[in-house]
Structure 1
Amino acid sequence: MGGEDWRGSMGKKPATYADLEALPEHVVGEIVAGELYASPRPAFPQLTAASFLMGLLCNPFVLGLGGPGGWYIVVEPELHFEEDVLVPDLAGWRRERLPQAPRVAALSLPPDWVCEVLSPSTRLLDRKVKLPVFAREGVRHVWFIDPVLRTLEVFRLESGQYVQLATHSGTDLVYAEPFEAVALKLAVLWDELD
């Protein structure tokens, strides 16, 4: 979400979880296809977009206040898929698949939805490296939010490939899968509150 160096390590041996644990606390580490990716903590526009999106989704979709409920949504979960370790900015599971918080540090159950908040330095990591892993694991919906371009891209997994359903921009109210039951005000994500 806001790092400077998304490129994988150039070492000959595959990265391990010990490599992740050795990273400094101020970076987010991920392993994809044996490559270690380390990104500094996100910048404020990315933090704002992710935090405010969580705020918009929590009441209607997690708590069922003003919306259907039925979701478990968290910030920066650690996901373990085979040898890959990913940390999306936000991820959500339908409650029938994840009824309560597991007592583990990392999950191997693929989420139903992930959201990546793009930065100039992580854009390729999120789109080119992580997206195929999400598809392989069957993550049904992926959102990309770009706080600089002020866009929300919505994708749905169909026959193993992501199909782009919409690109929303500006400050309008939008209905976006899988949270189309409630309108989301895009202006909130860009910190344009009236």
Structure 2
Amino acid sequence: MAHARHMSEAIHGREEARLERSPVWPHSGDMGNKSPPERVYEALERLPPNVVGEIIEGELHVSPRPRTMHGRAAFRLGKKLGPFDQEPDTEGPGGWVFLPEPELHLGGNVLVPDLAGWRREHMPELPDVTGVELAPDWLCDVLSPSTEAMDRSRKMTLYAREGVNHLWLVDPRIQLLEIYRREGERWQRLGAYTGDATVHAEPFEAQKLNLGSL
């Protein structure tokens, strides 16, 4: 049984690596008479539910669904920030609308951060759509081995270009929080915190965050 378990883990690891190394879809045989953006988006829609697809500068990138530690960190962070997503007549700072794993349609790209937030003055009503075309005011990506390189490079560049104002990167493996603010089309890192640090992080300074709880 131990041997079978190790074999299963090895196969799963190879599958994650294969997904990460195979970014470009669809294949030429799927092209038909449709435009490249339409073909790529149709390929994204055909993906199985056990993967996450994003379209980055015309290429479909496929990564495994988040593992348990990743998902728990995103859930706990969303819960900590919950008081900011309250109706105006309830307790809490309010003023924000949050979505977990939204599909963002920004400048021809389709991006899926772990959490995203919009100030209520920018999104007074939540649109009933699959893809949100309004750039978030804040978002967070939880890092994992299969996605960290992309999250730190091309996705950060696109987020800045499309007008996201605040970005957090969380790595639950080492209890790391990095805080960024956009300056023009570049990111300024405001701080990086690890371990059991307690942080009041822009733009949610009113909420105390204990990294150990993530």
**TM-score where L is the length of structure 2:** 0.81
Question: Which residue number corresponds to residue 116 of structure 1?
Answer: 141
What is the DSSP-based 3-state SS (H/G/I as helix, E as strand, rest coil) of the residue aligned with 1:154?
strand
Higher Cα Rg, which structure: 2
- Letter aligned with residue 43 of structure 2: D
**CA drift at 1:82:** 2.5
CA deviation string 1:115-162 (max 9, x = no partner):
000001100111112111101111000100001121000000012110
Where structure 2 has 5 or more consecutive residues not aligned to the other structure, the ranges are: 1-15, 29-35
Q: Does 1:75 align with 2:89?
A: no
Pairs within 5 Å for 1:18-167: 18-58=42-82, 60-63=83-86, 67-167=92-192
Larger RCO, structures 1/2 (Cα 8 Å, 6+ apart): 1
- Letter aligned with residue 49 of structure 1: A
- Tell me the C-alpha RMSD between the 2 structures: 1.8
**CA drift at 1:101:** 1.6
- Letter aligned with residue 63 of structure 1: Q
- Letter aligned with residue 19 of structure 1: A
1:6·1:125 contact (CA, 8 Å) conserved in 2? no
What is the DSSP-based 3-state SS (H/G/I as helix, E as strand, rest coil) of the residue aligned with 1:16?
helix
Distance 1:87 1:44, change over 3 A: same
Distance in 2 (CA, whole Å) between partners of 1:31 and 1:54 is 25
Question: Which residue number corresponds to residue 192 of structure 1?
Answer: none
**Aligned residue pair count:** 186
CA deviation string 1:48-91 (max 9, x = no partner):
10000001001x21127664110001100001112210011000
What is the DSSP-based 3-state SS (H/G/I as helix, E as strand, rest coil) of the residue aligned with 2:81?
helix
**CA drift at 1:100:** 2.3
